[in-house]
Structure 1
Protein backbone atom coordinates (compact mmCIF):
# COMPACT_ATOMS: atom_id res chain seq x y z
CA UNK A 1 0.00 0.00 0.00
CA UNK A 2 1.18 3.52 -0.84
CA UNK A 3 2.21 5.15 2.45
CA UNK A 4 2.33 8.96 2.11
CA UNK A 5 3.93 9.29 5.56
CA UNK A 6 7.07 7.28 4.80
CA UNK A 7 10.29 9.12 5.62
CA UNK A 8 11.37 8.83 1.98
CA UNK A 9 8.45 8.78 -0.45
CA UNK A 10 8.32 8.68 -4.24
CA UNK A 11 5.75 11.24 -5.32
CA UNK A 12 6.31 10.87 -9.05
CA UNK A 13 3.01 9.01 -9.50
CA UNK A 14 1.13 11.70 -7.58
CA UNK A 15 2.74 14.41 -9.69
CA UNK A 16 1.77 12.64 -12.92
CA UNK A 17 -1.80 12.20 -11.71
CA UNK A 18 -2.02 15.87 -10.66
CA UNK A 19 -0.87 17.12 -14.04
CA UNK A 20 -3.20 14.75 -15.86
CA UNK A 21 -6.14 15.75 -13.63
CA UNK A 22 -5.45 19.47 -14.15
CA UNK A 23 -5.29 18.74 -17.89
CA UNK A 24 -8.79 17.25 -17.73
CA UNK A 25 -8.38 13.55 -16.94
CA UNK A 26 -11.23 12.40 -14.71
CA UNK A 27 -9.67 8.92 -14.30
CA UNK A 28 -6.43 10.46 -13.01
CA UNK A 29 -8.40 12.53 -10.51
CA UNK A 30 -10.16 9.40 -9.30
CA UNK A 31 -6.85 7.52 -8.96
CA UNK A 32 -5.44 10.40 -6.91
CA UNK A 33 -8.44 10.27 -4.57
CA UNK A 34 -8.13 6.49 -4.20
CA UNK A 35 -4.44 6.81 -3.24
CA UNK A 36 -5.15 9.13 -0.32
CA UNK A 37 -8.76 8.63 0.83
CA UNK A 38 -7.98 5.78 3.28
CA UNK A 39 -5.24 7.80 5.02
CA UNK A 40 -7.48 10.87 5.35
CA UNK A 41 -10.29 8.67 6.64
CA UNK A 42 -8.11 6.89 9.20
CA UNK A 43 -6.96 10.25 10.58
CA UNK A 44 -10.55 11.51 10.68
CA UNK A 45 -11.99 8.49 12.49
CA UNK A 46 -9.53 9.00 15.34
CA UNK A 47 -10.57 12.64 15.56
CA UNK A 48 -14.37 12.21 15.55
CA UNK A 49 -14.81 8.54 16.65
CA UNK A 50 -17.89 7.61 14.59
CA UNK A 51 -17.06 6.20 11.14
CA UNK A 52 -20.05 7.96 9.54
CA UNK A 53 -18.77 11.31 10.85
CA UNK A 54 -15.30 10.41 9.58
CA UNK A 55 -16.76 9.79 6.11
CA UNK A 56 -18.27 13.29 6.15
CA UNK A 57 -14.95 14.78 7.24
CA UNK A 58 -13.15 12.87 4.48
CA UNK A 59 -15.56 14.24 1.88
CA UNK A 60 -15.16 17.79 3.20
CA UNK A 61 -11.38 17.47 2.96
CA UNK A 62 -11.56 16.02 -0.55
CA UNK A 63 -13.75 18.92 -1.69
CA UNK A 64 -11.11 21.38 -0.47
CA UNK A 65 -8.34 19.42 -2.16
CA UNK A 66 -10.21 19.14 -5.46
CA UNK A 67 -11.20 22.79 -5.58
CA UNK A 68 -7.62 23.90 -4.86
CA UNK A 69 -5.76 21.28 -6.88
CA UNK A 70 -4.95 23.70 -9.67
CA UNK A 71 -3.17 25.96 -7.15
CA UNK A 72 -0.56 23.31 -6.32
CA UNK A 73 2.68 24.59 -7.81
CA UNK A 74 5.14 21.95 -6.60
CA UNK A 75 6.95 24.36 -4.27
CA UNK A 76 6.53 21.81 -1.49
CA UNK A 77 5.95 18.07 -1.49
CA UNK A 78 2.42 17.14 -2.55
CA UNK A 79 2.14 15.17 0.70
CA UNK A 80 2.86 18.31 2.72
CA UNK A 81 0.36 20.38 0.72
CA UNK A 82 -2.41 17.76 0.85
CA UNK A 83 -2.09 16.86 4.53
CA UNK A 84 -1.75 20.48 5.59
CA UNK A 85 -5.18 21.00 4.03
CA UNK A 86 -6.39 17.88 5.87
CA UNK A 87 -5.02 18.85 9.28
CA UNK A 88 -6.06 22.52 9.02
CA UNK A 89 -9.61 21.45 8.18
CA UNK A 90 -9.73 18.98 11.07
CA UNK A 91 -8.34 21.47 13.57
CA UNK A 92 -10.81 24.19 12.57
CA UNK A 93 -14.01 22.29 11.76
CA UNK A 94 -17.07 22.47 14.00
CA UNK A 95 -17.32 19.90 16.76
CA UNK A 96 -19.65 17.04 15.92
CA UNK A 97 -20.95 13.71 17.19
CA UNK A 98 -18.76 12.17 19.88
CA UNK A 99 -16.77 15.40 20.18
CA UNK A 100 -19.78 17.47 21.30
CA UNK A 101 -19.65 16.55 25.01
CA UNK A 102 -16.30 17.70 26.40
CA UNK A 103 -14.43 14.64 27.60
CA UNK A 104 -11.67 14.57 30.22
CA UNK A 105 -9.69 11.59 31.40
CA UNK A 106 -11.43 11.73 34.79
CA UNK A 107 -14.92 11.85 33.24
CA UNK A 108 -14.00 9.06 30.84
CA UNK A 109 -12.75 6.87 33.68
CA UNK A 110 -15.96 7.54 35.60
CA UNK A 111 -18.08 6.57 32.57
CA UNK A 112 -16.16 3.29 32.09
CA UNK A 113 -16.34 2.45 35.79
CA UNK A 114 -20.11 3.02 35.78
CA UNK A 115 -20.51 0.24 33.22
CA UNK A 116 -21.14 -2.92 35.26
CA UNK A 117 -18.92 -5.98 35.01
CA UNK A 118 -21.05 -8.71 33.42
CA UNK A 119 -20.68 -12.15 31.92
CA UNK A 120 -20.06 -12.32 28.19
CA UNK A 121 -23.14 -12.33 25.92
CA UNK A 122 -24.75 -15.66 25.12
CA UNK A 123 -23.29 -16.76 21.75
CA UNK A 124 -26.75 -17.93 20.73
CA UNK A 125 -28.20 -14.43 21.13
CA UNK A 126 -25.70 -12.34 19.17
CA UNK A 127 -25.21 -12.23 15.38
CA UNK A 128 -21.38 -12.40 15.41
CA UNK A 129 -18.75 -14.37 17.30
CA UNK A 130 -18.34 -13.18 20.89
CA UNK A 131 -14.55 -12.55 20.52
CA UNK A 132 -15.38 -10.01 17.79
CA UNK A 133 -17.65 -8.19 20.23
CA UNK A 134 -14.89 -8.12 22.84
CA UNK A 135 -12.48 -6.72 20.25
CA UNK A 136 -15.06 -4.12 19.22
CA UNK A 137 -15.45 -3.07 22.86
CA UNK A 138 -11.66 -2.76 23.21
CA UNK A 139 -11.28 -0.70 20.04
CA UNK A 140 -14.23 1.54 20.89
CA UNK A 141 -12.79 2.15 24.35
CA UNK A 142 -9.25 2.95 23.19
CA UNK A 143 -10.50 5.16 20.34
CA UNK A 144 -12.72 6.98 22.83
CA UNK A 145 -9.68 7.66 25.02
CA UNK A 146 -8.25 9.81 22.23
CA UNK A 147 -11.17 12.23 22.63
CA UNK A 148 -9.78 13.15 26.05
CA UNK A 149 -6.85 14.83 24.30
CA UNK A 150 -7.42 18.24 22.77
CA UNK A 151 -7.61 18.27 18.97
CA UNK A 152 -4.05 19.34 18.36
CA UNK A 153 -2.55 16.74 20.70
CA UNK A 154 -4.91 14.09 19.31
CA UNK A 155 -3.74 14.88 15.79
CA UNK A 156 -0.07 14.83 16.76
CA UNK A 157 -0.57 11.53 18.62
CA UNK A 158 -2.41 9.98 15.65
CA UNK A 159 0.35 10.97 13.25
CA UNK A 160 3.38 10.43 15.47
CA UNK A 161 2.45 7.48 17.68
CA UNK A 162 -0.16 5.53 15.74
CA UNK A 163 1.07 6.07 12.18
CA UNK A 164 4.73 6.41 13.16
CA UNK A 165 5.26 9.70 11.30
CA UNK A 166 8.72 11.13 11.99
CA UNK A 167 9.10 14.47 13.76
CA UNK A 168 10.45 15.96 10.51
CA UNK A 169 7.46 14.87 8.41
CA UNK A 170 4.95 15.60 11.18
CA UNK A 171 6.45 19.05 11.69
CA UNK A 172 6.16 19.84 7.98
CA UNK A 173 2.50 18.80 7.90
CA UNK A 174 1.53 20.67 11.07
CA UNK A 175 3.87 23.60 10.40
CA UNK A 176 5.87 22.93 13.57
CA UNK A 177 9.57 22.53 14.15
CA UNK A 178 10.60 18.91 14.69
CA UNK A 179 11.38 19.79 18.31
CA UNK A 180 7.89 21.24 18.87
CA UNK A 181 6.31 18.18 17.26
CA UNK A 182 8.27 15.92 19.63
CA UNK A 183 7.30 18.02 22.65
CA UNK A 184 3.61 17.92 21.77
CA UNK A 185 3.77 14.17 21.15
CA UNK A 186 5.51 13.69 24.49
CA UNK A 187 2.74 15.59 26.32
CA UNK A 188 0.02 13.59 24.60
CA UNK A 189 1.77 10.31 25.40
CA UNK A 190 2.31 11.31 29.02
CA UNK A 191 -1.34 12.20 29.64
CA UNK A 192 -2.81 9.26 27.72
CA UNK A 193 -0.46 6.59 29.02
CA UNK A 194 -0.69 7.86 32.60
CA UNK A 195 -4.46 7.42 32.34
CA UNK A 196 -4.12 3.93 30.83
CA UNK A 197 -1.66 2.85 33.52
CA UNK A 198 -4.21 3.83 36.17
CA UNK A 199 -7.30 2.51 34.37
CA UNK A 200 -6.65 -0.17 31.74
CA UNK A 201 -6.14 -3.81 32.68
CA UNK A 202 -4.48 -4.48 29.34
CA UNK A 203 -1.62 -2.15 30.29
CA UNK A 204 -1.45 -2.68 34.05
CA UNK A 205 -2.62 -6.06 35.36
CA UNK A 206 -3.44 -4.58 38.77
CA UNK A 207 -6.29 -2.57 37.22
CA UNK A 208 -9.65 -4.38 37.45
CA UNK A 209 -11.04 -3.06 34.14
CA UNK A 210 -11.18 -5.87 31.56
CA UNK A 211 -12.67 -5.76 28.06
CA UNK A 212 -14.56 -9.10 28.37
CA UNK A 213 -16.18 -7.92 31.61
CA UNK A 214 -17.32 -4.64 30.03
CA UNK A 215 -18.48 -5.98 26.66
CA UNK A 216 -22.11 -6.82 27.55
CA UNK A 217 -22.40 -3.58 29.50
CA UNK A 218 -21.13 -1.65 26.47
CA UNK A 219 -23.75 -3.41 24.34
CA UNK A 220 -26.56 -2.64 26.77
CA UNK A 221 -25.44 1.00 27.01
CA UNK A 222 -25.43 1.32 23.21
CA UNK A 223 -21.68 1.79 22.86
CA UNK A 224 -21.32 -1.45 20.90
CA UNK A 225 -23.90 -2.59 18.35
CA UNK A 226 -23.57 -6.32 17.58
CA UNK A 227 -25.46 -5.78 14.33
CA UNK A 228 -23.21 -2.99 13.14
CA UNK A 229 -19.59 -3.30 14.16
CA UNK A 230 -17.72 -0.05 13.56
CA UNK A 231 -14.11 -0.88 14.35
CA UNK A 232 -13.82 -4.61 13.61
CA UNK A 233 -14.18 -5.08 9.87
CA UNK A 234 -13.80 -8.66 8.79
CA UNK A 235 -10.96 -7.80 6.45
CA UNK A 236 -8.65 -5.00 7.49
CA UNK A 237 -4.97 -4.27 7.67
CA UNK A 238 -3.45 -3.38 10.98
CA UNK A 239 -1.97 0.08 11.22
CA UNK A 240 1.49 -1.30 11.88
CA UNK A 241 1.26 -3.13 8.53
CA UNK A 242 0.00 -0.14 6.55
CA UNK A 243 2.41 2.38 8.09
CA UNK A 244 6.15 2.09 8.47
CA UNK A 245 7.59 1.17 11.85
CA UNK A 246 7.47 4.15 14.18
CA UNK A 247 10.44 6.48 14.20
CA UNK A 248 9.74 7.57 17.77
CA UNK A 249 11.62 6.16 20.76
CA UNK A 250 9.54 4.87 23.67
CA UNK A 251 11.26 4.28 26.99
CA UNK A 252 9.00 2.67 29.57
CA UNK A 253 7.27 -0.71 29.50
CA UNK A 254 3.93 1.01 30.14
CA UNK A 255 4.41 3.22 27.09
CA UNK A 256 5.43 0.20 25.00
CA UNK A 257 2.28 -1.71 25.95
CA UNK A 258 0.03 1.31 25.51
CA UNK A 259 1.46 2.21 22.12
CA UNK A 260 1.03 -1.36 20.90
CA UNK A 261 -2.70 -1.20 21.69
CA UNK A 262 -3.08 1.73 19.32
CA UNK A 263 -0.79 0.39 16.60
CA UNK A 264 -2.67 -2.93 16.57
CA UNK A 265 -5.91 -1.13 15.74
CA UNK A 266 -7.25 -1.87 12.26
CA UNK A 267 -6.37 0.38 9.37
CA UNK A 268 -9.96 0.87 8.27
CA UNK A 269 -10.87 0.65 4.63
CA UNK A 270 -13.38 3.44 3.96
CA UNK A 271 -16.31 3.16 1.63
CA UNK A 272 -15.03 4.17 -1.79
CA UNK A 273 -15.56 7.86 -2.42
CA UNK A 274 -15.57 7.45 -6.20
CA UNK A 275 -19.37 7.28 -6.60
CA UNK A 276 -19.71 10.31 -4.32
CA UNK A 277 -16.93 12.07 -6.25
CA UNK A 278 -18.63 11.54 -9.60
CA UNK A 279 -21.93 12.90 -8.30
CA UNK A 280 -20.19 15.82 -6.65
CA UNK A 281 -18.30 16.74 -9.80
CA UNK A 282 -21.57 16.90 -11.74
CA UNK A 283 -23.73 18.68 -9.18
CA UNK A 284 -21.05 21.21 -8.25
CA UNK A 285 -20.15 21.83 -11.89
CA UNK A 286 -16.53 21.28 -10.90
CA UNK A 287 -16.15 19.25 -14.08
CA UNK A 288 -16.47 22.47 -16.06
CA UNK A 289 -14.13 24.33 -13.72
CA UNK A 290 -11.44 21.66 -14.00
CA UNK A 291 -12.25 20.99 -17.66
CA UNK A 292 -12.54 17.27 -16.91
CA UNK A 293 -13.31 14.83 -19.67
Structure 2
Protein backbone atom coordinates (compact mmCIF):
# COMPACT_ATOMS: atom_id res chain seq x y z
CA UNK A 1 0.00 0.00 0.00
CA UNK A 2 1.55 3.30 -1.12
CA UNK A 3 1.46 6.13 1.41
CA UNK A 4 -0.07 9.16 -0.38
CA UNK A 5 1.68 11.50 2.07
CA UNK A 6 5.17 10.41 1.10
CA UNK A 7 7.30 13.24 -0.29
CA UNK A 8 7.72 11.51 -3.66
CA UNK A 9 4.68 9.93 -5.30
CA UNK A 10 5.66 6.57 -6.74
CA UNK A 11 2.59 5.95 -8.88
CA UNK A 12 1.65 9.46 -10.01
CA UNK A 13 1.66 8.73 -13.76
CA UNK A 14 -0.37 5.58 -13.31
CA UNK A 15 -2.79 7.43 -11.05
CA UNK A 16 -3.31 10.21 -13.59
CA UNK A 17 -4.14 7.56 -16.18
CA UNK A 18 -6.78 6.15 -13.81
CA UNK A 19 -8.18 9.66 -13.34
CA UNK A 20 -8.57 10.21 -17.07
CA UNK A 21 -10.18 6.82 -17.59
CA UNK A 22 -12.53 7.41 -14.66
CA UNK A 23 -13.54 10.81 -16.08
CA UNK A 24 -14.45 9.00 -19.31
CA UNK A 25 -16.82 6.72 -17.40
CA UNK A 26 -14.57 3.71 -16.72
CA UNK A 27 -16.04 2.30 -13.51
CA UNK A 28 -13.21 -0.18 -12.89
CA UNK A 29 -10.64 2.63 -13.09
CA UNK A 30 -12.68 4.70 -10.66
CA UNK A 31 -12.94 1.83 -8.18
CA UNK A 32 -9.19 1.24 -8.37
CA UNK A 33 -8.51 4.95 -7.87
CA UNK A 34 -10.74 5.23 -4.81
CA UNK A 35 -9.43 2.03 -3.24
CA UNK A 36 -5.94 3.58 -3.18
CA UNK A 37 -7.18 6.38 -0.94
CA UNK A 38 -10.23 5.06 0.89
CA UNK A 39 -8.39 3.60 3.90
CA UNK A 40 -6.20 6.69 4.26
CA UNK A 41 -9.25 8.96 4.31
CA UNK A 42 -10.86 6.59 6.82
CA UNK A 43 -7.82 6.74 9.10
CA UNK A 44 -7.91 10.54 9.03
CA UNK A 45 -11.64 10.50 9.75
CA UNK A 46 -11.45 8.11 12.71
CA UNK A 47 -8.92 10.37 14.41
CA UNK A 48 -11.19 13.33 13.87
CA UNK A 49 -14.43 11.75 15.16
CA UNK A 50 -13.21 8.77 17.28
CA UNK A 51 -16.09 6.40 16.52
CA UNK A 52 -15.32 4.11 13.54
CA UNK A 53 -19.03 4.11 12.59
CA UNK A 54 -18.97 7.90 12.33
CA UNK A 55 -15.68 7.70 10.44
CA UNK A 56 -17.31 5.41 7.88
CA UNK A 57 -20.00 8.02 7.31
CA UNK A 58 -17.44 10.80 7.00
CA UNK A 59 -15.37 8.74 4.57
CA UNK A 60 -18.39 8.07 2.38
CA UNK A 61 -19.21 11.79 2.33
CA UNK A 62 -15.65 12.58 1.27
CA UNK A 63 -15.59 9.90 -1.45
CA UNK A 64 -18.88 11.14 -2.90
CA UNK A 65 -17.45 14.67 -3.07
CA UNK A 66 -14.33 13.37 -4.77
CA UNK A 67 -16.30 11.39 -7.35
CA UNK A 68 -18.80 14.14 -8.15
CA UNK A 69 -16.04 16.74 -8.51
CA UNK A 70 -13.59 14.56 -10.42
CA UNK A 71 -14.46 16.24 -13.73
CA UNK A 72 -13.14 19.54 -12.33
CA UNK A 73 -9.62 18.15 -11.83
CA UNK A 74 -7.50 19.62 -14.61
CA UNK A 75 -4.01 18.75 -13.39
CA UNK A 76 -3.25 22.19 -11.97
CA UNK A 77 -1.76 20.42 -8.93
CA UNK A 78 -0.89 16.85 -7.99
CA UNK A 79 -3.96 14.61 -7.82
CA UNK A 80 -2.95 13.66 -4.27
CA UNK A 81 -3.05 17.34 -3.31
CA UNK A 82 -6.43 17.88 -4.99
CA UNK A 83 -8.02 14.81 -3.39
CA UNK A 84 -6.82 15.46 0.15
CA UNK A 85 -7.77 19.13 -0.04
CA UNK A 86 -11.34 17.92 -0.48
CA UNK A 87 -10.90 15.50 2.43
CA UNK A 88 -9.36 17.98 4.87
CA UNK A 89 -11.79 20.78 4.02
CA UNK A 90 -14.64 18.36 4.64
CA UNK A 91 -13.42 17.20 8.05
CA UNK A 92 -12.64 20.77 9.13
CA UNK A 93 -16.12 22.02 8.24
CA UNK A 94 -18.42 19.01 8.75
CA UNK A 95 -21.12 18.92 11.39
CA UNK A 96 -20.02 17.84 14.83
CA UNK A 97 -20.23 14.10 15.46
CA UNK A 98 -21.21 12.35 18.71
CA UNK A 99 -17.81 12.45 20.36
CA UNK A 100 -17.32 16.11 19.46
CA UNK A 101 -20.59 17.29 20.96
CA UNK A 102 -18.89 18.25 24.21
CA UNK A 103 -15.71 20.25 23.94
CA UNK A 104 -13.26 18.34 26.10
CA UNK A 105 -10.26 20.05 27.67
CA UNK A 106 -7.18 18.07 28.64
CA UNK A 107 -7.84 18.78 32.33
CA UNK A 108 -11.36 17.35 32.11
CA UNK A 109 -10.10 14.33 30.21
CA UNK A 110 -7.48 13.72 32.88
CA UNK A 111 -10.16 13.97 35.58
CA UNK A 112 -12.25 11.38 33.72
CA UNK A 113 -9.31 8.97 33.53
CA UNK A 114 -8.44 9.52 37.19
CA UNK A 115 -12.09 8.98 38.08
CA UNK A 116 -11.98 5.55 36.47
CA UNK A 117 -11.09 3.16 39.31
CA UNK A 118 -7.96 1.02 39.26
CA UNK A 119 -9.23 -2.57 39.16
CA UNK A 120 -7.93 -6.06 38.59
CA UNK A 121 -8.05 -7.32 35.03
CA UNK A 122 -11.28 -9.04 33.94
CA UNK A 123 -11.67 -12.76 34.48
CA UNK A 124 -10.38 -14.30 31.21
CA UNK A 125 -13.13 -16.93 31.44
CA UNK A 126 -15.93 -14.36 31.09
CA UNK A 127 -14.66 -12.18 28.21
CA UNK A 128 -14.74 -13.22 24.54
CA UNK A 129 -11.19 -12.11 23.68
CA UNK A 130 -7.77 -12.50 25.25
CA UNK A 131 -6.90 -10.10 28.06
CA UNK A 132 -3.89 -8.50 26.27
CA UNK A 133 -6.23 -7.56 23.41
CA UNK A 134 -8.57 -5.80 25.86
CA UNK A 135 -5.63 -3.92 27.38
CA UNK A 136 -4.51 -2.88 23.88
CA UNK A 137 -8.05 -1.72 23.07
CA UNK A 138 -8.07 0.33 26.29
CA UNK A 139 -4.73 1.92 25.41
CA UNK A 140 -5.82 2.77 21.89
CA UNK A 141 -9.23 4.09 22.96
CA UNK A 142 -7.67 6.26 25.65
CA UNK A 143 -4.98 7.75 23.41
CA UNK A 144 -7.45 8.22 20.53
CA UNK A 145 -9.66 10.11 22.98
CA UNK A 146 -6.76 12.42 23.79
CA UNK A 147 -6.83 13.67 20.21
CA UNK A 148 -10.35 15.05 20.81
CA UNK A 149 -8.83 17.50 23.31
CA UNK A 150 -7.09 19.24 20.42
CA UNK A 151 -9.09 21.64 18.28
CA UNK A 152 -9.97 20.36 14.81
CA UNK A 153 -7.10 22.02 12.96
CA UNK A 154 -4.53 20.84 15.50
CA UNK A 155 -6.02 17.34 15.44
CA UNK A 156 -5.92 17.19 11.66
CA UNK A 157 -2.38 18.52 11.38
CA UNK A 158 -1.12 16.19 14.12
CA UNK A 159 -2.76 13.27 12.28
CA UNK A 160 -1.19 14.22 8.96
CA UNK A 161 2.21 15.36 10.18
CA UNK A 162 2.99 13.28 13.26
CA UNK A 163 1.00 10.07 12.69
CA UNK A 164 0.81 9.64 8.90
CA UNK A 165 4.19 11.22 8.25
CA UNK A 166 3.29 14.07 5.88
CA UNK A 167 6.21 16.45 5.48
CA UNK A 168 5.78 20.16 6.12
CA UNK A 169 5.75 20.70 2.35
CA UNK A 170 3.11 18.06 1.60
CA UNK A 171 0.97 19.03 4.60
CA UNK A 172 1.13 22.69 3.65
CA UNK A 173 0.11 21.95 0.04
CA UNK A 174 -2.90 19.94 1.18
CA UNK A 175 -4.03 22.52 3.74
CA UNK A 176 -3.16 25.50 1.52
CA UNK A 177 -0.95 27.17 4.10
CA UNK A 178 2.76 27.90 4.37
CA UNK A 179 5.10 25.12 5.52
CA UNK A 180 6.10 27.35 8.45
CA UNK A 181 2.46 27.69 9.54
CA UNK A 182 1.93 23.92 9.23
CA UNK A 183 5.07 23.33 11.27
CA UNK A 184 4.04 25.78 13.99
CA UNK A 185 0.55 24.28 14.43
CA UNK A 186 2.02 20.77 14.47
CA UNK A 187 4.58 21.77 17.11
CA UNK A 188 1.83 23.31 19.26
CA UNK A 189 -0.29 20.14 19.00
CA UNK A 190 2.71 17.98 19.89
CA UNK A 191 3.50 20.17 22.89
CA UNK A 192 -0.09 20.09 24.15
CA UNK A 193 -0.28 16.30 23.90
CA UNK A 194 3.17 15.84 25.38
CA UNK A 195 2.40 18.13 28.31
CA UNK A 196 -0.76 16.18 29.11
CA UNK A 197 0.73 12.72 28.66
CA UNK A 198 3.91 13.54 30.56
CA UNK A 199 1.80 14.50 33.56
CA UNK A 200 -0.86 11.79 33.19
CA UNK A 201 0.20 8.73 31.23
CA UNK A 202 2.38 5.93 32.55
CA UNK A 203 3.31 4.98 28.98
CA UNK A 204 5.24 8.24 28.60
CA UNK A 205 6.35 8.93 32.16
CA UNK A 206 6.77 5.90 34.40
CA UNK A 207 6.38 8.05 37.51
CA UNK A 208 2.70 8.50 36.63
CA UNK A 209 0.48 5.88 38.31
CA UNK A 210 -1.96 5.51 35.39
CA UNK A 211 -1.56 2.10 33.73
CA UNK A 212 -3.67 0.63 30.94
CA UNK A 213 -4.13 -2.79 32.63
CA UNK A 214 -5.41 -1.09 35.78
CA UNK A 215 -7.97 0.92 33.80
CA UNK A 216 -9.16 -1.85 31.48
CA UNK A 217 -12.01 -3.21 33.61
CA UNK A 218 -13.12 0.34 34.48
CA UNK A 219 -13.18 1.26 30.79
CA UNK A 220 -15.34 -1.80 30.15
CA UNK A 221 -17.71 -0.97 33.00
CA UNK A 222 -18.04 2.64 31.83
CA UNK A 223 -18.82 1.57 28.26
CA UNK A 224 -15.60 2.91 26.73
CA UNK A 225 -14.45 -0.58 25.73
CA UNK A 226 -16.81 -3.28 24.49
CA UNK A 227 -15.17 -6.74 24.53
CA UNK A 228 -17.78 -7.93 21.99
CA UNK A 229 -17.19 -5.04 19.58
CA UNK A 230 -13.58 -3.90 19.52
CA UNK A 231 -13.06 -0.59 17.70
CA UNK A 232 -9.30 -0.15 17.63
CA UNK A 233 -7.75 -3.64 17.68
CA UNK A 234 -8.47 -5.48 14.43
CA UNK A 235 -7.77 -9.19 14.33
CA UNK A 236 -4.83 -8.69 11.97
CA UNK A 237 -2.98 -5.60 13.08
CA UNK A 238 -0.94 -3.47 10.72
CA UNK A 239 0.65 -0.53 12.52
CA UNK A 240 0.48 2.99 11.14
CA UNK A 241 4.27 3.26 11.31
CA UNK A 242 4.57 0.30 8.89
CA UNK A 243 2.67 2.19 6.20
CA UNK A 244 3.30 5.84 6.97
CA UNK A 245 6.46 7.59 5.91
CA UNK A 246 9.15 8.10 8.52
CA UNK A 247 8.78 11.46 10.23
CA UNK A 248 10.98 13.79 8.20
CA UNK A 249 11.18 16.52 10.83
CA UNK A 250 13.47 16.38 13.82
CA UNK A 251 12.01 16.17 17.33
CA UNK A 252 14.64 17.29 19.82
CA UNK A 253 12.83 16.17 22.96
CA UNK A 254 13.23 12.38 23.29
CA UNK A 255 10.21 12.15 25.61
CA UNK A 256 8.13 14.01 23.05
CA UNK A 257 9.35 11.61 20.37
CA UNK A 258 8.15 8.75 22.58
CA UNK A 259 4.60 10.08 22.83
CA UNK A 260 4.42 10.54 19.05
CA UNK A 261 5.49 6.92 18.60
CA UNK A 262 2.56 5.79 20.78
CA UNK A 263 0.19 7.25 18.18
CA UNK A 264 2.17 5.77 15.29
CA UNK A 265 1.83 2.38 16.99
CA UNK A 266 -1.96 2.59 16.57
CA UNK A 267 -3.42 0.08 14.13
CA UNK A 268 -3.95 1.27 10.57
CA UNK A 269 -7.68 0.65 10.38
CA UNK A 270 -9.42 -0.73 7.31
CA UNK A 271 -13.01 0.27 6.60
CA UNK A 272 -15.23 -2.83 6.46
CA UNK A 273 -16.29 -4.35 3.13
CA UNK A 274 -14.31 -1.84 1.09
CA UNK A 275 -15.37 -3.10 -2.34
CA UNK A 276 -19.05 -3.48 -1.44
CA UNK A 277 -18.99 -0.09 0.24
CA UNK A 278 -17.49 1.57 -2.82
CA UNK A 279 -19.94 -0.08 -5.17
CA UNK A 280 -22.88 1.17 -3.11
CA UNK A 281 -21.47 4.67 -3.48
CA UNK A 282 -20.93 4.25 -7.21
CA UNK A 283 -24.48 2.98 -7.67
CA UNK A 284 -25.81 6.26 -6.27
CA UNK A 285 -27.76 8.10 -8.97
CA UNK A 286 -26.00 11.42 -8.32
CA UNK A 287 -22.60 9.78 -8.67
CA UNK A 288 -23.48 7.87 -11.85
CA UNK A 289 -24.87 11.01 -13.46
CA UNK A 290 -21.78 13.05 -12.51
CA UNK A 291 -19.37 10.59 -14.13
CA UNK A 292 -21.53 8.88 -16.76
CA UNK A 293 -20.33 5.56 -15.37
CA UNK A 294 -20.32 2.51 -17.62
Say yes or no: TM over 0.5: yes
Q: Which residue of 2 aligns with 1:278?
A: 279
Q: Which residue of 2 aligns with 1:187?
A: 188
| Contact 1:218/1:224 (<8 A) preserved | yes
Q: TM-score, normalised by structure 1?
A: 0.98
Q: Which residue of 2 aligns with 1:206?
A: 207
Q: Which residue of 1 aligns with 2:255?
A: 254
Q: 1:21 and 1:68 mapped to 2: Cα distance?
A: 12
Q: What does the per-residue CA deviation read over 1:119-145, in whole Å, with 9 as the maximum and x for residues that have no partner?
A: 000000100000000000000000000
1:8 aligns with 2:8: yes
Q: Which residue of 1 aligns with 2:150?
A: 149
1:244 aligns with 2:280: no
1:121 aligns with 2:122: yes
Q: 1:269 and 1:286 mapped to 2: Cα distance?
A: 23
CA drift at 1:29: 0.6
Q: What does the per-residue CA deviation read over 1:72-102, in whole Å, with 9 as the maximum and x for residues that have no partner?
A: 0001000110000000000000101111111
Q: 1:127 and 1:267 mapped to 2: Cα distance?
A: 23
CA drift at 1:285: 4.2
| Contact 2:60/2:281 (<8 A) preserved | no
1:140 aligns with 2:141: yes
Residues 1-293 of structure 1 correspond to what in structure 2 (within 5 A)?
Answer: 1-10=1-10, 11-293=12-294
| Contact 1:236/1:269 (<8 A) preserved | no
Q: What does the per-residue CA deviation read over 1:48-77, in whole Å, with 9 as the maximum and x for residues that have no partner?
A: 000000000000000100000010000100
CA drift at 1:278: 2.6
Secondary structure at 1:202 match in 2: coil
Q: 2:193 and 2:54 mapped to 1: Cα distance?
A: 23
Q: CA RMSD in A?
A: 1.0
Q: 1:258 and 1:26 mapped to 2: Cα distance?
A: 42
Q: 2:287 and 2:187 mapped to 1: Cα distance?
A: 42
